[in-house]
Chain A
Amino acid sequence: MLNMMKKMWGFSVQMLILIGIYQVGNQMVRIFHLPIPGTVIGIVLLFLLLSMGVIKIEQIEMAAEWLLKHLGFFFIPISVGMMTIGSVLVNKGLSFLFVLIVSAFIGLISAGKATQSVIMKNEKEKVNYRDHVL
């Protein structure tokens, strides 16, 4: 019982740290009129704090992993909003869907292929270099 309460307390503190960083990101965007969204600043900020050792990974890991496990959930209420543009989607839905699917597939394949071929090329060069040294 005590153990569980301790765990819940720890979880809440971790959550508050993440919410705090998110709010700092939002405020920075507002104050400095940055053209970047607050969440992006928040990611960079948390990464820097972790790298500098200001925040230890254990101090946020439990809450962060729980949030990431359920990341998909937070998109559901937003995606339910599609019911408001139902008529547009019914009229033009198929042609929209066609464009979205084709362009997504083209993007997925070219991003994946490009990344993989650069990785392969670099690794091959490293092997050749090592051969040369030997």
Chain B
Amino acid sequence: MITFYSILLTLSVYIFARFIAAKYSSPLTNPVFLSTIVIIFLLVISNVSYDEYIPAKKMMTYLLGPATVALAVPIYKNRRLLAKYYGAALVGISIGLVTTIFSAIILGYCLQFSRMVILALTIKSVTVPVATEIGRILNGNIPLIAAFVIITGMIGAMFGAKLLSLFKITHPFARGLSIGTIAHGIGTAEAVKEGEVQGAVAGAAMGITAVLTSFIIPYGIDFFI
């Protein structure tokens, strides 16, 4: 019964949030952000704990795997474009990852975060299903990692497009790549709305980032933190 209630609640809030996002375009109306806030609020006031929400969560996220696999479609459709700019893509993804990871580690040290928190910071740009897998290998704090990944995705989805325009990054390829590298799936969902090229490149960048990070972090982690 609670599971049914949770699913119904999540779906209706999502539909409502999409409707709001279509009507008022603002970082605060980003559907993932808005839905999360409203759902947590409604679960708390109707006395449903997260443990009771988990069966509903499992059902609703079942398609996340196939949806991630479906990213091959925009990559395939834009394969000529990706082949044309592959050099730029590799440079951009590597530089984006190195700067975001190192700035997070340095700031984390300055603010005296624990090793557990800094570990979570290093995988924050990787899509959720992949980040939690890396976290498990490294004995990290899974809920904390998921929170960092999701907040990072929301930051990218909410402010990414405006920030890129502010810094005169106008090329659709560069815009999609930047958002996909830093803000993984949540950013990609937003990039898809901006244009097909942006969406495809973001999807491809997200995949490449996931592969690069899952290779580098498990081996490099003892060296860095």
Chain A residues close to B by CB (< 8 Å): 15, 18-19, 21-22, 25-26, 35-40, 42-47, 50-51, 57, 60-61, 63-65, 67-85, 88-89, 92, 95-116, 118-120, 122
Contacts and interface: CB of A to CB of B under 8 A. Distances in A.
Contacts of A109: 163-164, 167, 169, 178
Contacts of B151: 96-97, 100
30 contacts: A15-B66, A18-B66, A22-B68, A37-B129, A46-B69, A50-B73, A60-B73, A63-B70, A67-B63, A68-B67, A72-B157, A74-B61, A77-B60, A78-B61, A78-B128, A81-B143, A81-B146, A82-B150, A83-B40, A96-B117, A99-B108, A105-B163, A108-B182, A111-B93, A111-B178, A111-B181, A112-B96, A115-B92, A116-B171, A119-B171
Given A36-B214, A116-B171, A119-B171, A67 B67 contact: yes
SS of A interface (majority): helix
B125, B127, B189 — most chain A CB neighbours (10 Å): B189
Interface string B186-220: 10111010000001000100010011001100100
Q: Dominant SS at the B interface?
A: helix
Contacts of A72: 31-32, 157, 185-186, 189-190
B140 interface: no
Contacts, number: 300
B31 A43 contact: no
A35 B210 CA distance: 11
B199 to A, nearest CB: 7
A101 B121 CA distance: 12
Interface residues of B, number: 103
A40 B179 CA distance: 18
A75 B164 contact: no
Nearest to B170: A116
Contact of A99 (B74, B89, B121, B183): B121
Contacts of A74: 60-61, 63-64, 67, 185
B111 A100 contact: no
Given A78-B146, A83-B43, A112-B175, A101 B69 contact: no
A84 B141 CA distance: 12
